[in-house]
Structure 1
Amino acid sequence: MKKSSLIITTIASAAFILGGMEAKAAVSSTHTSENKINFTAGEDVVTPPVDPTNPDNPNVPNPVDPTDPTNPGTGQTGPLSIDYVSNIKFGEHKITGKDIAYKGKNANPFVQVTDLRGAGDGWNLSAKMTEFKSGNKVLRGATLAIKDGVVKAGSSSNISLAPTKSDILFDNTESKLVMNAVNKGGRGTWLTVWPGVNQANEAIQLHVMAGTPEANTEYTSSITWELEDAPK
């Protein structure tokens, strides 16, 4: 019992002495240094497309959309740019006597926008589609529905407020809102991805009315994407 008591007392005393020694230390001198960094808007910066399935992936697949292999991106320069838009493929189909909704072939079509202005003024992306045509032949009544998009940041560490996305129904030539970044939001790179099954994407559907298609005819439509420097 005495031995144990002695050990405990010795440790406690040592701790007291060390504590006392630390308490006697004093600051003899101070000085303040300064660190600076300056930023300007990303003028003339080209932001390449990122991997739509994993935007943080440093090894971006080439092509980024296998169903759209000849599409490298828009090449637009900043500070506010549309970087990439997938071209939607629907393939070849036999004519039927029914109204049919044809699913997109692209598994992960996407649109990518980058805001390098550094002001946080917000922005909006809209789109309008022409009729499906082949020369003077028109695929009358055809509509394109794009829904269930997923908004992703080009970097998972982006702390800016994410833009919102909208489901789209192209049923005429009017402009439709696709993405909207409010004031102080949407800084950096942002994507809306429409994920689905390869060769049969439920999120992208072209509705064709019975009695309208003509055989041996490829119909084409174009979508014009418009990026404005303010929110809707």
Structure 2
Amino acid sequence: MKKSSLIITTIALASFAFGGAEAQAVVSSTHTSDNKINFTSGEGVVSPPVNPINPDNPDVPNPVDPTDPDNPGTGQDGPLSIDYVSNIKFGEHKITGKNIAYKAKNANPFVQVTDLRGASDGWSLSAKMSEFKSGNKVLRGATLAFKDGVVKAGSSSNISVAPTKSDILFDNTESKTVMNAKDKGGRGTWLTVWSGTDQANEAIQLNVVAGTPEANTEYTSSITWELADAPK
């Protein structure tokens, strides 16, 4: 019994001795080091189009819009740029005696904007459409609707405030707001994507009035997209 007590006592004293040595350690010297990084605006930077379905996916399909295969993007450089806009296709249809809403063939058409100014000033994207024409022939009364768009960041880790989007009805040549980034928002890359069924996308529809189409005629309209360096 005495032997056992002696061993236990020795261990306890050793532990106390080592613990006491650790407790007496003091800091003898300190110094600080600096870590620095400097940024300038993305002047001259070209931001390529991202995957509209999953912007974080680096394997961007080629082309990004299979219905619009010859569209590589605008090639505009920064620091504030429109990077990509889909050309909307409606295909070929037989003339009917009714008003018809034709659905876009594109499954995931989108518009992409990048702000690399680093100034948090905000921005606004607007658009206006010309009449559908073929030479001097006009598709009178035609309107084009973009609805149910979804705003996506080019990177899911982007902490900037997202721009807001608007449904659009092109019914004349007036400019319509598409996206609007308030002050301190919209930094980095942002998309509005109008996703729907491939070959029958209800998010984008061309409304044609009965009695206006002419046979064997392809009508074309242009949308002019305008990016301003301040919000609306």
* 2:84 paired residue number: 84
Q: Residue 22 of structure 2 aligns with which residue?
A: 22
Structure 1 residue aligned with 2:60: 60
Query: Which residue number in structure 1 is paired with residue 226 of structure 2?
Result: 226
Q: Deviations over 1:21-58 (max 9, x none)?
A: 43222111111000111111110110000000010111
* 1:50–1:8 distance in 2 versus 1, CA, 3 Å: farther
Paired residue secondary structure (1:91)? coil
Q: Which residue of 2 aligns with 1:148?
A: 148
Q: Which residue of structure 2 aligns with residue 161 of structure 1?
A: 161
TM-score, normalised on structure 2?
0.93
Counterpart CA distance in 2 for 1:8 and 1:147 is: 81
Q: Structure 1, residues 201-227: CA drift from partner, whole Å, max 9, x if none?
A: 010000001111011000000000000
SS class of match (2:224) = strand
One-letter code aligned to 1:221: S
Q: Which has the larger radius of gyration?
A: 2
- Mark the runs of 5 or more structure 1 residues left unpaired by the alignment: none
Which residue of 1 is the match for residue 135 of structure 2?
Answer: 135
Q: Compare 22-31 and 123-132 and name the one that shifted more.
A: 22-31
Q: CA RMSD in A?
A: 2.1
Q: 1:96 to 1:30 in 2, by over 3 A?
A: same
Runs of 4+ in 1 over 6 A off after TM superposition: 5-15
Q: What is the percentage of aligned positions where both structures have the same residue?
A: 86
1:10 Cα offset (Å): 9.0
- Give, as a single letter, the amino acid of the residue that structure 1 aligns with 2:174: E
Q: Aligned equivalents of 1:11 and 1:176: distance in 2?
A: 83
**Cα deviations by residue, 1:69-128 (Å, 9 ceiling, x for unpaired):** 000000001000000000000000011111000000000000000000010100000000
Q: Deviations over 1:139-175 (max 9, x none)?
A: 0000000000000000111000000000000000000
1:66 aligned partner, one-letter code: P
